[in-house]
Amino acid sequence: MTKTAWVFPGQGSQATGMGADLVDLPVGQAKLAIAEDILGWSVSEVCSSDDAQLSRTLYTQPCLYVIESILVDLLREKGHQPALVAGHSLGEYVALYTAGVFSFEAGLRLVQRRAELMDSTSDGKMAALIGFDREALDQQLQQTPGVVLANDNNAGQVVISGTPEAVAHIMATVKAKRAVPLNVSGAFHSPLMAPAATEFQQVLDSVTFQDAQVPVLSNVEPLPATDGSVLRDRLSRQMTGSVRWRELSLQLAAEGVDRVIEVGPGKVLTGLIKRTCGDIALENISSAAEIPA
The hierarchical CATH code for the domain 4-120+190-290 is 3.40.366.10
Domain with CATH 3.40.366.10 in the chain: 4-120+190-290
pLDDT value for 137: 96
Mean pLDDT for 206-213 is: 97
Domain with CATH 3.30.70.250 in the chain: 125-181
DSSP structure string for 88-117: STTHHHHHHHHTTSS-HHHHHHHHHHHHHH
Which residues are known catalytic residues?
A: 89, 189
Q: Which CATH superfamily is domain 125-181 in?
A: Malonyl-CoA ACP transacylase, ACP-binding (3.30.70.250)
- By CB neighbour count within 10 A (0-12 exposed, 13-18 middle, 19+ buried), where does 156 fall? middle
pLDDT value for 51: 81
From the list 3, 114, 18, the residue with the least C-alpha distance to 69 is 18
Express each pLDDT in 84-125 by its tens digit: 999 999 999 999 999 999 999 999 999 999 999 999 987 899
pLDDT value for 164: 96
- Which of 4-8, 10-14, 185-189 shows the highest mean pLDDT? 4-8
Share of the chain above pLDDT 90, in %: 95
